[in-house]
């Protein structure tokens, strides 16, 4: 029986685990690390480095070292998130023909799934090395707040790397499974607060009779440790400019050094009250070389990142409300993701939930362990346990007046199918445009277009007389399929939503062959 590995494909770090007997084990990488940096570097000689080796050479090769690509996956070039990344990333972000955000390295344009495939492929090799056999199947986790396009793109990344993705699992749900499977009494309600490198998720689950049922989930797919680093970097660049009149932001090498130092300082301030950033020869001024030496305190960091900390509260309140609970009814709070080591983040969760988080959870590894645990459930090795997850976004179509008509509401258990009947707006209307949106606003202007297609050859008739039954099926991985059926003729149009973005099946196949043969 070939192994199914569980992979936590993180923004900053990734982790791979496998089931050994009945226990999930984290696999060490080639350097003995239990997590591997999600960094891919392209060298001038055509070589590709992944993981710690790629991260180490980032300072000397900032424009061709790709990190945090997960923040770009499934995003449009024109989105505000991409604009923010273009401002802050040392590598080049470009607009692909289909409007997606891609990256450019040298003269090569790459989609985010291609880049992530290198990370997944690296983890695949780590697992193969450890197990002594080929690994072709994986369960990959994504943030619960990831949408359809981001999930599709993650699946594509797996296929390119030669992995059959047996399931896409939500990170907080995976963490809940790993945490709760052996130690939570039936009837418990747990909240998983997952603040990673790039995304923030909050999920509330009820565990009863072995069923892990997500009651509500919320989050922010653009809030994570990288944003905390960025605030530190911006503050130090600003101070340096004030003091020396030199903009470190102009120099990719200096910026990369500053980024690494800022990340380290932030981490150190989780365990000590002060630390120092020390970057000799960071720039050259009129009077000669300049050094950046700055003492940082925990208070300073907390003041600085206050706006980010404040953004954690809204999604939590929303999830608690959607679960129809009050905070006191939540029995346990589980913290996941490296950023939850920051004392101010722990304090924030205490303020929201009114209780201390549980101890004994490794926030960097628990998601991968949960993914590997899910493989035991699939194999039948862990009986009487199942996850019932939900969709984190409402899905619907655009109707007259630019209104959004939801078919599937957020926090609905998946898989699910919902059907609604719609009518034409014109006399003798020949076709209708089915535009699929995700969002939670009454107007589509606040929503995101996932895809669209035309249902043509409608029978003639006055406005309102021709009716179309639209049906949304959201599968267990959170991927949407839309059918539209004209009621009188029974004409059906079916569409798996990927048209407006993403890679075609053929392209994925081609990239997969290229990856295997490189």
Partner 1 sequence: MADPDGRGRRDEAKPAIDSGGAAASPLATARAYFAEIQKQDFYLSLGVAREAGPDEIHRAFLRLAKRWHPNLHALENAEVRSLVEEIFIFLKRGHDTLMDPAKASAYRTRVPTANPVPPAPAKPAGNAAAATAKTPVRTPAVASKAAASRPTTGPPLPAARAIPAAAKAAPAARTPPQPDDIDKVIQIGSDLLTAYDFRLARAAFERALARDPTHPGVRALLAVVAAREFQVNGQLPAAVKQYEAALAIDPSCGLARAGLNQIEEMQAAPKRGLFRKFFFDE
The residues that touch partner 1, with contacts defined as CB under 8 A, are 166-167, 208-211, 213, 374, 377-380, 384-388, 397-400, 403, 405-406, 413, 415-417, 419-427, 429, 431-434, 461-470, 473, 475-476, 487
Helix (H) or strand (E) holding 235: helix 225-244
Nearer CB in complex with partner 1: 426/509: 426
Specify burial of residue 247 (Cβ count, 10 A radius: 0-12, 13-18, 19+).
middle
d(CA 260, CA 240): 17
Q: Cβ closer to partner 1: 277 or 407?
A: 407
- Active-site residue, 70 included: yes
Q: Could you tell me the smallest distance in angstroms from the CB atom of residue 491 to partner 1?
A: 14
Q: Nearest CA to 199 among 237, 136, 239, 151?
A: 151
CB of 90 to partner 1, least distance (A): 39
461 C-beta neighbours (distance < 10 Å), count:
15
Other Cβ atoms within 10 Å of 458 Cβ, number:
20
In the complex, minimum distance from the CB of residue 463 to partner 1, in angstroms, rounded to a whole number: 5
Is residue 227 among the annotated active site residues?
Answer: no
* Active site (annotated) includes residue 133: no
C-alpha–C-alpha distance, residues 150 and 74, integer Å: 4
230 vs 403, beta carbon nearer partner 1: 403
CB 167 within 8 A of CB 188: no
Query: Which residues, including other chains, have CB under 8 Å from residue 277's CB and lie 6 or more apart?
Result: 236, 258, 261, 262, 265, 292, 293, 294, 296
From the list 55, 70, 155, 485, the catalytic residue is: 70
Q: Is 234 a catalytic residue?
A: no
Residue 234's region, left for phi above 0, alpha for psi from -120 to 50, else beta, is alpha
Name which of 221 and 473 has its Cβ closer to partner 1. Answer: 473
CB of 466: closest distance to partner 1 in angstroms? 7
Beta bridge mates, 94: 102
CA atoms of 480 and 396, how far apart (whole Å): 11
- Minimum CB–partner distance for residue 228 and partner 1 (Å): 34
364, 34 in Cβ contact below 8 A? yes
Smallest gap from Cβ 490 to partner 1, in A, equals: 10
Least distance in angstroms from the C-beta of 372 to partner 1? 14
Instruction: Please give the structure tokens belonging to residue 124.
Output: 């695949």
Closer residue to partner 1 in complex, CB, 314/456? 456
CB of 190 to partner 1, least distance (A): 17
CB atoms within 10 A of CB 317: 13
Catalytic residue among 64, 194, 227, 435: 194
Structure tokens at 162: 């030669």
Beta bridge partners of 404: 398
Which has the closest alpha carbon to 140: 487, 156, 344?
156
Q: How far is the CB of 155 from partner 1 (least distance, A)?
A: 13
Residue 479 φ/ψ, nearest 5 degrees: -105, 135
Q: Which is nearer to partner 1, 107 or 400 (CB)?
A: 400
**Could you say which DSSP state residue 390 is in?**
B
Torsion of CA 146, 149, 155, 157, to 10 degrees: -100
Kind and range of the H or E run holding 492: strand 492-496
- Name the β-bridge partners of 108: 105
Which CB, 467 or 507, lies closer to partner 1? Answer: 467
Give 332-356 as a 3 state SS string: EEEEECHHHHCHHHHHHHHHHHCCC
Task: State the catalytic residue, choosing from 147, 171, 201, 365.
Answer: 171
Nearer Cβ to partner 1 (289/462): 462
Question: Residue 297 or 419: which CB sits closer to partner 1?
Answer: 419
The catalytic residues are 8, 70, 171, 194
């Amino acid at each position: 029986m070939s192994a199914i590995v569980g992979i936590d494909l993180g923004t900053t770090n990734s982790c791979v685990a496998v089931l050994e007997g009945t226990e999930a084990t984290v696999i060490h990488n080639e350097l003995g690390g239990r997590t591997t940096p999600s960094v891919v570097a392209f060298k001038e000689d055509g070589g590709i480095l992944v993981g710690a080796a790629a991260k180490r050479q980032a300072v000397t090769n900032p424009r061709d070292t790709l990190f945090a690509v997960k923040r770009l996956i499934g995003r449009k070039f024109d989105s505000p998130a991409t604009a923010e990344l273009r401002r802050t990333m040392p590598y080049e972000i470009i607009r692909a023909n289909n409007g997606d955000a891609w990256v450019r390295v040298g003269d090569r344009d790459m989609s985010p799934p291609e880049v992530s495939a290198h990370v997944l492929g690296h983890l695949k090799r780590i697992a193969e090395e450890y197990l002594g056999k080929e690994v072709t199947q994986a369960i990959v986790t994504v943030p619960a707040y990831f949408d359809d396009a981001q999930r599709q793109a993650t699946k594509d990344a797996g296929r390119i790397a030669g992995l059959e993705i047996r399931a896409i699992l939500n990170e907080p749900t995976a963490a809940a499974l790993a945490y709760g499977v052996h130690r939570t009494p039936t009837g418990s309600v747990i909240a998983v607060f997952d603040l990673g490198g790039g995304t923030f998720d909050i999920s509330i689950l009820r565990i009863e009779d072995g069923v892990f049922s997500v009651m509500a989930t919320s989050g922010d797919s653009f809030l994570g440790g990288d944003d905390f680093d960025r605030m530190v970097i911006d503050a130090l660049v600003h101070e340096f400019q004030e003091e020396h009149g030199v903009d470190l932001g102009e120099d990719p090498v200096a910026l990369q050094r500053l980024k690494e130092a800022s990340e380290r300082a932030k981490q150190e301030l989780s365990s000590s009250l002060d630390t120092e950033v020390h970057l000799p020869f960071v720039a050259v001024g009129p009077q000669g070389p300049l050094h950046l030496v700055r003492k940082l305190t925990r208070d300073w960091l907390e003041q600085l990142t206050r706006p980010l900390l404040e953004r954690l509260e809204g999604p939590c309140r929303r999830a608690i409300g959607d679960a129809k609970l009050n905070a006191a009814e939540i029995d346990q709070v589980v913290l996941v993701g490296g950023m939850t080591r920051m004392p101010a983040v722990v304090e924030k969760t205490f303020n929201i939930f009114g209780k201390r988080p549980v101890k004994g959870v490794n926030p960097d590894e628990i998601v991968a362990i949960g993914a590997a645990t899910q493989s035991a459930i699939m194999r039948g090795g862990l009986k009487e346990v199942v996850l019932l997850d939900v969709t984190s976004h409402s899905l619907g179509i655009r109707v007259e007046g630019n209104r959004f008509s939801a078919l599937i509401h957020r926090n609905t258990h998946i898989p699910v199918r919902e059907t609604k009947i719609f009518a034409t707006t014109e006399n003798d209307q020949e076709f209708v445009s089915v535009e699929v949106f995700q969002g939670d606003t009454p107007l589509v202007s606040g929503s995101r277009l996932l895809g669209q297609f035309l249902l043509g050859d409608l029978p003639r008739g006055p406005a309102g007389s021709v009716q179309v039954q639209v049906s949304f099926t959201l599968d267990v991985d959170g991927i949407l399929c839309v059918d539209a059926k004209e009621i009188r003729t029974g004409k059906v149009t079916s569409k798996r939503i990927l048209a407006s973005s993403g890679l075609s099946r053929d392209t994925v196949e081609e990239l997969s062959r290229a990856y295997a043969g490189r």
